[in-house]
């Protein structure tokens, strides 16, 4: 048919367009002009990026950041090898960082090896990382550093970090799902053994309730304390020719020898760093007692390694110490390297993230690699520089033994604790329960495996508290032995091994390992305590006939209790929730969404009842708390930080209770997690609610930067009545733990007391943190104690906690908060005494 068509049909008004040939030509042209660069990420995935040959490194970096949707991107970089050497070889001089200011073609050349995305600047504290996804990338990097043995760390620390990895990936320990070998296929530690897996399993049980983000934060929080954390190592030789390693960190230059830190030259002590050929020089600041400058010279392996170290110092100093990079100056005849750090600093990164807000994004976490196990000897237990070896089999039939009966497998050293919350930037301090009861020195006790766990142990060098027994369960060997093991007894030795300065987890592990020996016998040495019962000291013990004597004696008892650890031991014996006070209203279906935490509920008998709330629901997570001390009755409303759906209820409570002072002891978010919804409008703006109108009239920040002062105008919509509300917000409490010093907190408490004295009404003071129990309880106890000191009355902090918990459950949430507030009260008393002595 086509043959019959004449040539005339294709002549004249006709044409063709060769699409395929042009597509191939364009593809060839793009290939000639561009580069295909493979980047391997921290989860071991790879992605190919196409960039122009003439493009600079910053273009590829930006493609990578966009691919990951990174916000806090300046901590990361791309590293590559010119000769294909393994990336795990940390001492290789051939590993280079991609320079954003130079062209890719000049840097990569014909490099066929993938670039590695990794952390370049290790943050000093993970709480500085505001994005959960950024912390996850740091977590992946440190896991890789450990598995590739670039990060040297004690065996006990590696086991602890591995337990957080298991919690992040598998969630809470469940005996029905997690069999005896559930960790055998996870690659967690180099040289992983069954003994290591058993210890990891025991620690995994303690992390119940932690979300993946929580477990990863705890992983980073422990990793930052490792001596080799974030150290960029470079090989060198000193003047005597000894092999050393120079590490560049956020602190400065660290000198190592055989992986042991010798000395640190902080950035504040360094005047200048320079290099010339293979020599590297450090000029130190002159001390007041010196009449000369100190110049240290070190020999590097090659000129290139010397320059690489110098560039790393320039980048780390600029990133961590300066607010903005130094501007390049162009000198036509300048000598030496013109290299400067051109990226953003840590200060700029943190400022930008705070301004734009935290990005809540969802992402998929990558699982651990599968492991083919090779049996290796189990490591010794370590404790801050010394080794605690597991106790050997006793030499004699009766020497230093505790006999265990039965043939069943021993119980685990820890039991699960279902009381989980995440209040005020920290998890509950879990009680570690063990089936082995320490006894008085020289006593032999026996145990049956079917008996319940007996003592509760607290303390250890990791918490700066002696190892103490805080609870003895009834009808257990510890309860039945003669003399009876008592709360507050201090554990000193296990089978002759000194544990007075050991970590908590190592003490429990030693007891468990001794129990698992073939003899199954244990000998413990304890120091008995004088605190044999959980009861307040009767007031008759204080001599009130001498002014100030009762107060002085109570403060002496407080100081002695802090020093011995007995104060915290007694605190641990208190109930968290009163057993006879129900919280039924909080558990109703319509009220559950109004609770910030599932385990923190108000007592029905002391809860605040709303009278005219929107929707007719009278529930709010708040309790009346009244503290009577020294003839003064301080009234509080302790409540949780408002949620988006409870802002209306919060202001309705302020209106109905005639309150004029709100104390906020938290920030709006911590570690990337919301702690309190912003329940007030911006300065000069108004917030219209169901029954009230709120306007922010003033907002100031004190000279320390840790206290915000605000004044609100609260308008009753129905009556048009106006009331001035004062708002004090304390933001100097760190994201995790407690403040380092009580001084700033005591100043804030004094400001709260002054605001209460100058108030227009005697209405209760509204105080809240996130859950309304931890920092809230600390503030209530501190103000109550200061009132007692002011009137010369004795201070009984344990009785104050008991009084608070009879009105709102779990007030002062954990032992570290209790210790902090007791230290603060004692510091306030000491200051008053010193001022009185100066006045006389």
CA distances from 613 to 617, 640, 650, 651, 692 (A): 6, 17, 10, 10, 11
Q: What share of the chain is helix, strand, coil (3-state, %, to 5)?
A: 30, 20, 45
- Per the residue annotation, which of 583, 769, 787, 822 is the catalytic one? 769
Q: How many other C-beta atoms are found inside a 10 Å radius of the C-beta of residue 358?
A: 15
> Helix, strand or coil for residue 222?
helix
- Residue 83, class by beta-carbon neighbours within 10 Å (0-12 exposed, 13-18 middle, 19+ buried)? exposed
Q: What single-letter DSSP state applies at residue 581?
A: -
Q: Report the C-alpha gap between 764 and 783 in whole angstroms.
A: 14
Q: 676 catalytic, yes or no?
A: no
What are residue 119's DSSP bridge partners?
76
> Helix, strand or coil for residue 639?
strand
The DSSP secondary structure of 509-552, one letter per residue, reads HHHHHHHHSSS----EEEE--S--S--PPPGGGS--SSTTHHHH
Q: How many other C-beta atoms are found inside a 10 Å radius of the C-beta of residue 472?
A: 20
Q: How many other C-beta atoms are found inside a 10 Å radius of the C-beta of residue 202?
A: 20
Q: Report the C-alpha gap between 674 and 656 in whole angstroms.
A: 27
> Helix, strand or coil for residue 25?
helix
- Residue 704, class by beta-carbon neighbours within 10 Å (0-12 exposed, 13-18 middle, 19+ buried)? exposed
Q: Report the C-alpha gap between 362 and 437 in whole angstroms.
A: 46
- Residue 675, class by beta-carbon neighbours within 10 Å (0-12 exposed, 13-18 middle, 19+ buried)? buried
Task: Name the strand (E) or helix (H) holding 238.
Answer: none
Asked if 671 contacts 133 with a C-beta cutoff of 8 angstroms, the reply is no
Residue 450 has, within 13 A of its CA and on its CB side, a CA count of 2
Positions marked active-site: 769
């Amino acid at each position: 048919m086509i043959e019959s068509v004449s040539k005339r049909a294709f002549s004249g008004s006709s044409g063709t367009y060769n699409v395929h040939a042009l597509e191939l030509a364009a593809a060839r042209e793009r290939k000639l002009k561009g580069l295909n660069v493979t980047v391997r990420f921290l989860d071991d995935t790879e992605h190919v990026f196409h960039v122009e040959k003439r493009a600079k490194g910053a273009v590829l970096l930006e493609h990578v950041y966009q691919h990951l949707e990174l916000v806090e991107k300046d901590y990361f970089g791309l590293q590559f090898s010119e000769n294909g050497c393994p990336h795990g070889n940390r001492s290789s001089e051939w590993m280079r960082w991609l320079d954003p200011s130079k062209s890719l073609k000049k840097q990569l050349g014909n490099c066929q090896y993938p670039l590695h995305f990794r952390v370049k600047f290790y943050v000093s504290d993970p709480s500085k990382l505001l994005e959960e996804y950024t912390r996850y990338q740091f977590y992946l990097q440190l896991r890789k550093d450990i598995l590739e043995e670039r990060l040297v760390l004690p065996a006990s620390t590696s086991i602890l970090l591995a337990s957080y990895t298991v919690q992040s990936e598998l969630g809470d320990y469940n005996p029905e799902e997690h069999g005896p070998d559930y960790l055998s296929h996870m690659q967690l530690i180099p040289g992983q053994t069954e003994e290591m897996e058993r210890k990891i399993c025991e620690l995994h049980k303690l992390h119940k309730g932690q979300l993946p983000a929580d477990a990863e934060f705890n992983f980073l929080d422990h990793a930052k304390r490792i001596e080799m954390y974030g150290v960029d190592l470079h090989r060198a030789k000193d003047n005597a020719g000894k092999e050393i390693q120079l590490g560049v960190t956020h602190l400065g230059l660290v000198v190592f020898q055989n992986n042991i830190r010798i000395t640190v030259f902080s950035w504040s002590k360094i005047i200048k760093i320079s290099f010339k050929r293979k020599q590297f020089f450090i000029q130190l600041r002159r001390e007041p007692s010196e009449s000369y400058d100190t110049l240290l010279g070190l020999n590097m392996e090659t000129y290139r390694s010397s320059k690489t170290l110098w560039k790393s110092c320039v980048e780390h100093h600029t990133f961590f110490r300066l607010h903005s990079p130094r501007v390049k100056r162009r000198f036509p005849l300048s000598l030496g390297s013109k290299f400067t750090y051109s990226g953003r600093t840590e200060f700029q990164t943190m400022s930008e993230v705070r301004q734009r807000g935290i990005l809540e994004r969802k992402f998929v976490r990558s699982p651990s690699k599968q492991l083919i196990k090779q049996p290796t000897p189990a490591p010794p237990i370590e404790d801050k520089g010394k080794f605690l070896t597991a106790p050997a089999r006793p030499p004699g039939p009766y020497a230093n033994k505790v006999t265990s009966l039965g043939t069943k497998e021993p119980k685990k050293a820890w039991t699960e604790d279902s009381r989980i919350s995440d209040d005020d930037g920290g998890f509950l301090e879990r009680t570690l329960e063990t089936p082995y009861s320490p006894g008085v020195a020289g006593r032999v006790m026996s145990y049956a495996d079917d008996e319940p766990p007996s003592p509760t142990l607290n303390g250890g060098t990791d918490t700066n508290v002696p190892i103490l027994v805080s609870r003895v369960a009834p009808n257990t060997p510890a309860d039945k032995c003669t003399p009876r093991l008592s709360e507050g007894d201090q554990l000193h030795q296990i089978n002759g091994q000194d544990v007075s300065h050991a970590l908590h987890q190592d003490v429990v592990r030693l007891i468990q390992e001794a129990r698992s020996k073939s003899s199954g016998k244990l000998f413990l040495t304890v120091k008995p305590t004088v605190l044999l019962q959980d009861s307040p000291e009767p007031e008759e013990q204080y001599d009130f006939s001498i002014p100030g004597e009762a107060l002085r004696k109570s403060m002496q008892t407080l100081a002695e209790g802090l020093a011995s650890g007995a104060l915290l031991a007694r605190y641990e014996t208190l109930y968290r929730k009163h057993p006879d006070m129900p919280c039924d209203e909080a558990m109703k279906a319509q009220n559950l969404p109004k609770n910030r935490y599932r385990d923190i509920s108000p007592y029905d008998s002391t809860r605040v009842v709303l009278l005219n709330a929107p929707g007719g629901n009278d529930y709010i997570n708040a309790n009346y708390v009244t503290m009577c001390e020294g003839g003064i009755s301080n009234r509080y409303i302790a409540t949780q930080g408002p949620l988006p759906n409870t802002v209306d209820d919060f202001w309705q409570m302020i209106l109905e209770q005639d309150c004029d002072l709100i104390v906020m002891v938290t920030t709006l978010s911590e570690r990337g997690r919301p702690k309190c919804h912003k329940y007030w409008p911006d300065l000069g703006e108004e917030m219209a609610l169901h029954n009230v109108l709120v306007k922010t009239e003033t907002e100031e920040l004190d000279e320390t930067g840790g206290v915000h002062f605000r004044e609100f105008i609260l308008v009753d919509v129905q009556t048009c009545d106006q009331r001035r509300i004062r708002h004090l917000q304390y933001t100097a409490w760190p994201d995790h733990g407690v403040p380092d010093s009580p001084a700033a907190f005591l100043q804030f408490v004094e400001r709260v007391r002054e605001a209460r004295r100058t108030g227009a009404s005697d209405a209760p003071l509204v105080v809240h943190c996130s859950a309304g129990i931890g920092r809230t309880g600390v503030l209530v106890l501190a103000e109550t104690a200061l009132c007692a000191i002011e009137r010369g009355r004795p201070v009984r902090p344990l009785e104050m906690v008991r009084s608070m918990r009879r009105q709102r459950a779990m007030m002062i949430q954990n032992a570290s908060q209790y210790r902090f507030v007791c230290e603060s009260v004692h510091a306030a008393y000491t200051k008053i005494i010193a001022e009185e002595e100066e006045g006389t």
